[in-house]
Amino acid sequence: MAQTAQAQIQDMIERASRLGDDVLASEIRAFAASRQFGLVFEHNRPERMRLYGKAVSAGDVVQVLPERGKKEGAASKLLWLVDAICGSTASLTAYRTNSYNENDEEPRQANVDDLVAVAEYDQPIYAGLRETGRVERGGDKPYQVVINGENYHALESLLFCYAGKVDCIYIDPPYNSGAKDWKYNNDYVDGSDEYRHSKWLAMMERRLKLAKKLLNPASSVLIVAIDEKEYLRLGLLLEQLFPSCGSEMITTVISAKGVARAGQFSRVEEYLFFVRIGEAEIGLGADNMLDNTRNSKEKLGKDVDWLGMRRREPSAVRGARKDQFYPVFVDSETGFIKSIGDSIADNVERNSVPCPEGCDAVWPLRKNGTEGIWGITPSTARRDLSKGYIRSSVTQRKGMRNITIKYLPEGTVNAIESGSIRIVGRNEDGSVICSYRVEKGVIPKRVWNKKSHNAETHGSLLIGALLPERKFSYPKSLYAVEDALSFVIRNNPNALVLDFFSGSGTTAHAVMRLNHQDGGHRRCICVTNNEVSEVEEKELTKQGYRHGDPEWEHFGICEYITKPRIRAAITGRTPDGDPIKGDYKFTDEFPMADGFEENAVFFDLTYQNPDAVELGAAFEEVAPLLWLRAGARGRMIGHEERGFAVADTYAVLFDYSCVREFVGSVRSKPALSCVFIVTDDAGRFASVKAELGDLECVRLYESYLRSFKIAAEDAVR
Ligand SMILES: C[S@@+](CC[C@H](N)C(=O)[O-])C[C@H]1O[C@@H](n2cnc3c(N)ncnc32)[C@H](O)[C@@H]1O
């Protein structure tokens, strides 16, 4: 069998080592390290990101925005280093990167308002989050999260919160169609760009490497949607990045009508890569996803167990529990339960209790004839009797009628009410006959053809119902994303899902639907940038606006579509406050106006100046990251509090002199999932950690943002 180049080189290294030539072996190793095998592209093609919203300061690398009303051009691509800022004037010198010395201009001055900071890979940046709104209808459930920002930096920040903890990542990246559907270094990538595949791969590789660090290595799934433009290259990239994982490609029909092109096949489909990490498996489905030849069948499993209502343990004697000694009256003829009597005080003789005519009183008597207690109180017994969850069982023994009272324990009652046990009939006395439901799922096929996956009807039109008059290009069908996720997280009601190319927020919407179906607490983090379409960009530029202006940002995807969509889905109201028209369909049908009992919080990704970092300021910017790490539930500690602060799920020690009080407060709140200790002193951190035992303790540097420094390229290598 032919060897791969890598295997051949490994062979050569081993042979050189066997011959004792360590110098040759290390030379071959160095040579191999300098080569690229497999998918070949320009990994290091620099990717520069504009940090709109960052206050420009001395030391920043910047670009000078075009004059208002003018388009971007070669001049606005030049990089400058800010030497000094005096008032509103910045002194700039040409900034030369190692790889591209494109700026040969003389030093110049510019108005600070005309500058935008640019992140280069050799510069550290300090990212944080700023809350821009929330919607709360979910009680103490965890929050769904939407982040407006560059996903590369957002992923880096999320590593602090969720490294190795994400159960499923679903992404639908730009397809690199050649039709200006995405930007690299702030420039649209179109069909004439010779490096378009290299740029796309470099962009994807950087983000997928971070995604890999976020996914739970024990069991998680990465789902990537793609079409014919990049599916081959994406397949290879995934194979290289996830070499030991199972990977499958689904072909999915998104519009049976098709897009016809002369001389070609009509395009009706897209693809979904499912990469299974660790022990992850694809779950069974309700149907086979291709046709209706095999659908899931519900089978009835074993009958439920009825338990004797009298408590059996030796200590269960009359008086051991309040309210649990009372008569159950049964019909003298039929033996069926007629009613439940009241509990009697410990000093009352049971035979003194009057019995309704035509009934016998059954008391909780132990085998030896002494008085015991029932397992439930009279009020619960009456409620259960009315629902058929209590019955009598009559037997004849040695000519004597023996009546036992039976009941369904609380767990069984809950399972009936939630539907996992099915009532299949009633006995003559009205008590239920029920069996466990066994859903016999179907192994899904690799080709999906479902009307519910139509991107126009259940993507674009659905957004039109939630956000009348607002348009978003190419959303996925809500039900298509729901189906894809359900194969991975249906059986994990607390799953953490991430979509870092979230566009209109379909993934979070689908996660909320899955929660609606089974009462789950799954949550989704959606990250998307705030770009406007090319047409809108031209129009806004003509009106004299620039990216970064509030008037421009208002129309960006995240502000205009994603955040309002999630708000509308939860509240059931359009942005104008009208009830959303129409019903959800397929698996779970209900009016969209009902909304969801969920919470959501919206953030902007922010960039801080190193000066603030040195001053030890800016806790507010990292505060949401601590709250996210602690599970995104309950109160957020939003600003530095005196000494320390304790919220529902986490606590922060700001001032070590309060350590005693802090430890006491933390110990009194067993629901805390982690604590953050602000100290530069490793010894102090270790001593608090030792005192708090198993509780997760995280150290933060006193200059907070230093804990969140993103060293960009270094971090992903
Ligand atoms: C194809 S769309 C996703 C559509 C989404 N699945 C839906 O149903 O609405 C890709 C989205 O990724 C966003 N995006 C592209 N590059 C990004 C980046 N570097 N950081 C954050 N978002 C980005 C774009 O704004 C676009 O909305």
pLDDT value at residue 425: 87
Q: Could you tell me if 80 and 61 are in contact, meaning their C-beta atoms sit under 8 angstroms apart?
A: yes
Residue nearest to ligand 1 atom 14, measured at CA: 501
Q: How far is the CA of 25 from the centre of ligand 1 (A)?
A: 46
Residues 592, 614 within the same domain: no
Pairing of strands 179-184, 187-190: antiparallel
pLDDT value at residue 48: 82
Q: Per-residue confidence at 99, pLDDT binned at 50, 70, 90?
A: low
Q: What is the largest distance, in Å, between two alpha-carbon atoms of the chain?
A: 114
Q: Which ligand 1 atom is nearest residue 506's CA? A: 8
Residues 198, 314 within the same domain: no
Q: Could you tell me if 459 and 482 are in contact, meaning their C-beta atoms sit under 8 angstroms apart?
A: no
Q: What is the pLDDT of residues 355-389, one digit of tens each?
A: 999 999 999 999 899 999 999 999 999 999 999 99
Residue finishing a domain among 531, 564, 596: 596
Q: How far is the CA of 642 from the centre of ligand 1 (A)?
A: 41
Interval 32-38 mean pLDDT: 69
Residue nearest to ligand 1 atom 24, measured at CA: 503
Q: Could you tell me if 343 and 324 are in contact, meaning their C-beta atoms sit under 8 angstroms apart?
A: yes
**Token output for 277:** 């990490």
DSSP-assigned letter for residue 287: B
pLDDT value at residue 1: 38
Q: What is the pTM of this model?
A: 0.79
φ, ψ of residue 27 in degrees (nearest 5)? -65, -40
Which of 399-403, 513-517, 629-633 is the least confident region?
A: 399-403
Q: What is the pLDDT of residues 549-562, one digit of tens each?
A: 999 999 999 999 99
pLDDT value at residue 65: 94
pLDDT value at residue 712: 47
Q: Per-residue confidence at 152, pLDDT binned at 50, 70, 90?
A: very high
458-467 long-range contacts, CB within 8 A, separation 24+: 458/585, 459/506, 462/582, 463/504, 463/561, 463/565, 465/580, 465/581, 465/582, 465/592, 466/564, 466/565, 466/568, 466/569, 466/574, 466/580, 466/592, 467/561, 467/564, 467/565, 467/568, 467/574, 467/575
pLDDT value at residue 397: 79
Interval 21-48 mean pLDDT: 76
Looking at residue 147, which CATH number applies to its domain?
A: 3.40.50.150
Residues 6+ apart with CB under 8 A from 533: 473
571: number of Cβ within 10 Å: 19
> Does residue 562 fall inside a structural domain?
yes
CA dihedral 650, 653, 659, 665 (to 10 degrees): -30
Domain ranges, residue 245: 142-292+445-596
Q: Could you tell me if 571 and 597 are in contact, meaning their C-beta atoms sit under 8 angstroms apart?
A: no
Average pLDDT over the chain reads: 89
Q: Is the pLDDT of residue 711 over 70?
A: no
CA atoms of 59 and 292, how far apart (whole Å): 63
Looking at residue 92, which CATH number applies to its domain?
A: 2.30.30
Helix or strand holding residue 109 (H, E) = strand 108-111
74: number of Cβ within 10 Å: 7
Pocket test for ligand 1, best of 482, 529, 530, 547 (most atoms within 8 A of CB): 529
Q: Is the pLDDT of residue 38 over 80?
A: no
> Does residue 149 fall inside a structural domain?
yes
**495 or 617: which leads in pLDDT:** 495
Interval 587-601 mean pLDDT: 95
Q: Is the pLDDT of residue 482 over 90?
A: yes
**15 or 7: which leads in pLDDT:** 15
pLDDT value at residue 147: 98
Residues 522, 571 within the same domain: yes
Q: Which residues line ligand 1 (CB under 6 A)?
A: 150-151, 172, 174, 182, 474-476, 501-504, 506, 527-529, 531, 557
Q: Which segments of 505-563 are extended strands (E)?
A: 523-528
Residues 110, 234 within the same domain: no
Q: Which ligand 1 atom is nearest residue 463's CA? A: 9
Q: Of 271, 151, 145, 284, which is closest to residue 207 (Cα–Cα)?
A: 151
Q: How far is the CA of 528 from the centre of ligand 1 (A)?
A: 6
Which of 6-10, 379-383, 643-647, 687-691 is the least confident region?
A: 6-10
Residue nearest to ligand 1 atom 3, measured at CA: 503
Report angle CA 174, 48, 108 to the nearest 5 degrees: 140
Q: Which ligand 1 atom is nearest residue 476's CA? A: 8
Q: In this structure, which amino acid lies at residue 98?
A: N
Q: Is the pLDDT of residue 713 over 50?
A: no
CA atoms of 699 and 496, how far apart (whole Å): 24
Helix or strand holding residue 34 (H, E) = helix 22-34
> Does residue 43 fall inside a structural domain?
no
Q: Which segments of 297-420 are extended strands (E)?
A: 297-303, 307-308, 328-331, 337-340, 359-362, 390-397, 400-407
Q: Per-residue confidence at 182, pLDDT binned at 50, 70, 90?
A: confident
Residues 455, 432 within the same domain: no
Say if residue 657 is exposed, middle or buried (CB neighbours under 10 Å; 0-12, 13-18, 19+).
exposed
Q: Is the pLDDT of residue 110 over 50?
A: yes
Q: Is the pLDDT of residue 32 over 90?
A: no
Specify the 3-state DSSP secondary structure of 9: helix
Q: Which ligand 1 atom is nearest residue 150's CA? A: 20
Q: How far is the CA of 108 from the centre of ligand 1 (A)?
A: 36
Residues 244, 323 within the same domain: no
Residues 431, 449 within the same domain: no
Q: Could you tell me if 93 and 87 are in contact, meaning their C-beta atoms sit under 8 angstroms apart?
A: no
Name the CA radius of gyration of the chain, rounded: 32
What percent of the chain has pLDDT above 90?
A: 63
| β-bridge partners, 307 | 407
Q: Is the pLDDT of residue 261 over 70?
A: yes
> Does residue 457 fall inside a structural domain?
yes
> Does residue 67 fall inside a structural domain?
yes
pLDDT value at residue 716: 37
Residue nearest to ligand 1 atom 5, measured at CA: 503
Residues 540, 634 within the same domain: no
Q: Which of 40-54, 94-108, 125-139, 434-448 has the highest mean pLDDT?
A: 125-139
CA atoms of 237 and 208, how far apart (whole Å): 9
> Does residue 539 fall inside a structural domain?
yes
pLDDT value at residue 105: 85
Residue indicated by tokens 């939860």: 570
Q: How far is the CA of 140 from the centre of ligand 1 (A)?
A: 30
Residue finishing a domain among 532, 565, 596: 596
> Does residue 133 fall inside a structural domain?
no
Q: Is the pLDDT of residue 714 over 50?
A: no
CA dihedral 421, 423, 427, 429 (to 10 degrees): 90
Q: Which ligand 1 atom is nearest residue 530's CA? A: 25
Q: Could you tell me if 594 and 538 are in contact, meaning their C-beta atoms sit under 8 angstroms apart?
A: no
**Token output for 458:** 């259940």
CA atoms of 244 and 239, how far apart (whole Å): 8
Q: How far is the CA of 500 from the centre of ligand 1 (A)?
A: 7
Interval 82-102 mean pLDDT: 83
CA atoms of 324 and 152, how far apart (whole Å): 62
Residues 616, 482 within the same domain: no
Q: What is the pLDDT of residues 649-668, one digit of tens each?
A: 999 999 999 999 999 999 98
pLDDT value at residue 11: 79
| β-bridge partners, 188 | 183
Alpha helices in 194-258 (DSSP H): 196-214, 231-241
Residues 577, 634 within the same domain: no
Number of structural domains the chain divides into: 5
**Token output for 502:** 């979230």
Say if residue 682 is exposed, middle or buried (CB neighbours under 10 Å; 0-12, 13-18, 19+).
exposed
CA atoms of 300 and 440, how far apart (whole Å): 10
Q: How far is the CA of 635 from the centre of ligand 1 (A)?
A: 30
pLDDT value at residue 40: 77
Q: Which residues of 389-421 are buried (b: 16+ CB within 10 A; e: fewer)?
A: bbbbeeeeeeeeeeeebbbbbeebbebbeeeeb
Which of 32-36, 145-149, 500-504 is the least confident region?
A: 32-36
> Does residue 297 fall inside a structural domain?
no
Q: How far is the CA of 529 from the centre of ligand 1 (A)?
A: 7
Q: In this structure, which amino acid lies at residue 256?
A: A
711: number of Cβ within 10 Å: 14
Residues 177, 222 within the same domain: yes
Q: Per-residue confidence at 421, pLDDT binned at 50, 70, 90?
A: confident
What percent of the chain has pLDDT above 70?
A: 93
Q: Which ligand 1 atom is nearest residue 183's CA? A: 16
Pocket test for ligand 1, best of 502, 560, 563, 566 (most atoms within 8 A of CB): 502
Residue finishing a domain among 570, 596, 622: 596
φ, ψ of residue 459 in degrees (nearest 5)? -120, -80
pLDDT value at residue 4: 59
pLDDT value at residue 651: 96
Q: Per-residue confidence at 100, pLDDT binned at 50, 70, 90?
A: low
**Token output for 100:** 């591209």
N- to C-terminal Cα separation, the chain? 33
Residues 464, 507 within the same domain: yes
Q: What is the pLDDT of residues 435-456, one digit of tens each?
A: 887 767 889 999 999 999 999 9
Q: Could you tell me if 54 and 112 are in contact, meaning their C-beta atoms sit under 8 angstroms apart?
A: no
CA atoms of 447 and 271, how far apart (whole Å): 9
Instruction: Report the length, in residues, of the chain.
Output: 717
pLDDT value at residue 2: 41
Pocket test for ligand 1, best of 52, 210, 528 (most atoms within 8 A of CB): 528
CA atoms of 397 and 394, how far apart (whole Å): 10
Residue indicated by tokens 């708090």: 692
CA atoms of 629 and 496, how far apart (whole Å): 12
